[in-house]
Amino acid sequence: MVKITFPDGSVREYEQGITGLQIAESISPALARNVVSCGVNGVTTELNRPINEDATIALYKFEDEEGKHTFWHSSAHLLAEALKELYPGIQFGFGPAIENGFFYDVQTADGTPISENDFPKIEKKMLELARKDSPIVRRNVAKDEAVKEFKADGQTYKVEHIVEDLEDGTISTYSQGNFTDLCRGPHLVSTGAIKAVKLTSVAGAFWRGDAKSDQLTRIYGITFPKKKMLDEYLLMLEEAKKRDHRKIGKEMELFMFSDRVGKGLPIWLPKGTQVRLRLQEVLRKLQRPYAYQEVITPGIGGKNLYITSGHYAHYGKDAFQPIQTPEEDEEYMLKPMNCPHHCEIFANKPRSYKDLPLRIAEFGTVFRYEKSGELHGLTRVRTFTQDDAHLFVRPEQVKKEFEDVIDIIQKVFTTFGFENYEAQISLRDPADKEKYIGSDHVWEESENAIKEACKEKGLKARVEIGEAAFYGPKLDFMVKDAIGRRWQLGTIQVDYNLPNRFKLEYTAEDNSKQTPVMIHRAPFGSLERFTAVLIEHTAGHFPLWLTPDQVAILPISEKYNDYADEVKKFLESKNVRVFVDDRNEKIGRKIRDNELKRIPYMVIVGEQEKNEGLVSMRVQGGGEQATMPMADFAKRINDEVAEQMKNLD
C-alpha cells in the first residue's frame, strides 16, 4: 500500500501502482472526466503514470496552470501530427506549450512557408486526429536508439538536438497514432480531450534562436476541452485588440518609438511623461512612512562591477556589450540593473547595526538587450525604469521588512484598481543547484523568511520550483486585468549572496562584523510595463487623478473662445488639468475626437454658459450631463480625485 497526501492535508491509502486517474475516479466520476494531469511530489506528470511509493498529489483540471500546460503541450504534438500527414517530409524543430497555447517550429520539404491561408485545413486535420482519441504513449529510449529512430524518420533537427544536447538515460519519446516526438512530457492520456482548435498566427523563427541558422516557420495555436471556451477566448482576443496599449498610447499621445532613435527605446511624450511622474509621486508617498532614501546612480558602470556582482556571468548574453574607452583595459557597461550601484552606496562608509534597516530607493533606468523579434510596445523594451529599492537589513529584520513591502504593493494594486491578483513564491530547483549562487543554508533561510512573511500577512501564494533568481528566492505578484489576462508586476526578492560578493558588513551590537541581508523590491516592476498593463486594464480610461488631461473645454463656436479661456484659468487655479479645444470644427466632431483621447470630462460652453457664468458638463462615454457653476464643477473634480487617493493617506 502507498499513502497519498492531498493538498488539504488529508491522507488516503491505495494499492501500489495506483495512477492519478484512478485516484481521481476514487473521489468522483466527474473529477475523473475533468482532470488532465497530476502533480506527484510537486512534479507534473501523466495521469496514467503508476505511483509506487508514498507521495503528495494534486489533481489538475484544464483551469489550473499546470493543467493548461499539459493540455497545450499535447496540442503541440497534435499540430505536428497533422502537419506530418499534410506535408510529407516536413522537418520539426521545437514545439512547446507557452502561456497562452503552444507553437511548433517547422520547415516544409520544399522550403515553402506555411501561411495563415493554410490554417483551416490544418485545424480540420487536427480535430479529425483528436476525434480518434489516440493513446499518448511514453517510452524511455537510449541515445543511440533515439538517433537511429529520428534519422530513419528524416528529422535532421531532432537528431542534432539529441546528439548535442541530450544525455543518455534522460531521453524519452511520446507517440500518438503514426507520430512520435522527442519530449520530456507531461502529456494527456489521449488526444480525445482536445475538442476545439484555433491556429492564431505564423512567424519566422531561427533554429535554436541563432540568426546564422536555418529559418523555420513558427505556427502558433491554442486549444480547449470545450468549444464554448474557444469562443470566449476569441471574444477576449477581440477585446484585447481594442485595448492594445500601443494603439491607445498613440491615440492619447503618451509615447512613441523612432527607428532613428533605435528599436525598443521608448520616447515619453509630454502627456505620457505626466503620467509617469504621477506614478513616481504615488510611490514616493507610499514609501514616505518607511524612511526610504532616494538616490541617483549613473547609467553605466565599470565591467568589473558586474563581474563582482555575478551579473556579467549570468546576464552577459542578455546585456549590451561592454563599451571600450580610449584608455587601455578600461571597459564600461550600460547599467543592466541597479543593485550593484546600491551595494557600493552601502559600502561608502562604515555601518552600524543602529543604521539598519537602510532603505535605498531609485527610479533607475537600466538597459538590456532584447532580440528585435521579441520587442513589443512598452512591455518588452531595451531600456526601462525600475521603481527600484534595496533594503539592507539584519537577519532578524528580514520578515518585518518583507511584510512592509507586501503592504506597499497591495496599496499600489488598490490604488490602480487591480483587485484580482495572486502571489507566487519562486524557489530554487534543488535538482539543478549549479544555476544558483550561495550555500544551501543561505537558501533555506531566505526561502523560509518569504514563506513566513506571506503566512503572517494572510497572503495565499502558490509555490514554483526553479523560478528563483540566481541569487535568491522571490515573491512575484501576478495581476489579472479587466479581461482576465495575467501580468507579472510587483516583485520582492531576498538576497543573502550579493552582500557577500561585495563584502558588505556592519558592526553588530557585540562589536563583531556581520554581513547584512539584502531585499530587492519593485512594486510596479518597471514604469514602462506597468503603464502598458494599466492602459490595457483600463482601456486608456485612467483614474481621474492620473489622467494627463482631466477636462476638455469645447466652445460651440469661435466667439466663445474668450469665455472658454476664462473657464480654463479658473479651473487651473483649482488644480484641475484642463485645455481648450478651440479648433474651427463642429461641436459633434470635437466631442468625438476628445472621446477618442479618453478625456474624462468635457465642458461645453456657448451663449447660455457665458451669460450665466456656467459650464455644461459631459462625462466621457456619453454618460451624465449637467449644467452648473464653475466652482461646483471644480469641487466635483477635486472631490473625485480625493476619493480615489484616500487609501494613500
Q: What are the two backbone dihedrals, phi and then psi, of residue 523, each rounded to the nearest 5 degrees? A: -60, -40
Residue tagged active-site, from 387, 388, 476, 549 = 388
Catalytic position from the list 49, 390, 529, 598: 390
Q: Is 520 a catalytic residue?
A: yes
The number of beta carbons lying within 10 Å of the beta carbon of residue 400 is 12
Q: Distance between CA atoms of 17 and 511, rounded to whole angstroms?
A: 59
What is the distance between the alpha carbons of residues 239 and 148, in angstroms, rounded to a whole number?
48
The whole-angstrom separation of Cα 285 and Cα 217 is 49
187 labeled part of a ligand binding site? no
C-alpha span between 640 and 258 (Å, rounded): 37
474 is an active site residue: yes
| Burial of residue 352 (number of CB atoms within 10 Å: 0-12, 13-18, 19+) | exposed
Q: Which residue has the cell 558588513?
A: 505
Clarify whether 107 is annotated catalytic. no
Task: Give the sign of the dihedral formed by CA 619, CA 623, CA 629, CA 632.
Answer: negative
Q: Is 441 annotated as a binding residue?
A: no
Q: 592 an active-site residue?
A: no
390 annotated to bind ligand: yes
Number of neighbours of residue 480 by Cβ within 10 angstroms? 15
Find, among 437, 451, 454, the residue nearest to 496 by Cα. 437
Phi-psi sector, 439: left (phi>0), alpha (psi -120 to 50), beta: beta
Report the 10 Å Cβ neighbour count for 130. Answer: 24
Measured CA to CA, the distance from residue 597 to residue 633 in angstroms comes to 21
Catalytic option among 311, 351, 359, 520: 520
The three grid cell numbers given for residue 32, joined into one nine-digit string:
475523473
Among 73, 474, 521, 618, the active-site one is 474
Q: How many Cβ atoms from other residues are within 10 Å of residue 234's Cβ? A: 14
Q: How many CB atoms lie within 10 A of CB 387?
A: 24
Active-site choice (161, 187, 276, 368): 368
Which residues touch 94 (CB under 8 Å, ≥6 apart)?
A: 104, 105, 161
Please state, in angstroms and as integers, the Cα–Cα distance from residue 420 to each residue in 82, 414, 426, 486, following that order: 38, 10, 20, 10
- Residues pairing with 615 in the sheet: 628
* Residue with grid cell 571597459, as numbered in its chain: 331
Spatial separation of the C-alpha atoms in residues 457 and 401, rounded to whole Å: 12
> Is 250 in the active site?
no
- What backbone phi and psi angles, to 5 degrees, belong to 554? -120, 100
First to last CA, the chain: 59
Closest Cα to residue 299, out of 347, 368, 361? 368
Phi/psi for 243 (5° steps) reads -95, 5
Q: Which of 49, 68, 77, 339 is catalytic?
A: 339
Strand partners, 172: 140
| Residues classed as catalytic | 339, 368, 386, 388, 390, 474, 520
Give the residue numbers of the binding site for Zn(2+).
Answer: 339, 390, 520
Give the residue numbers of the binding site.
Answer: 339, 390, 520
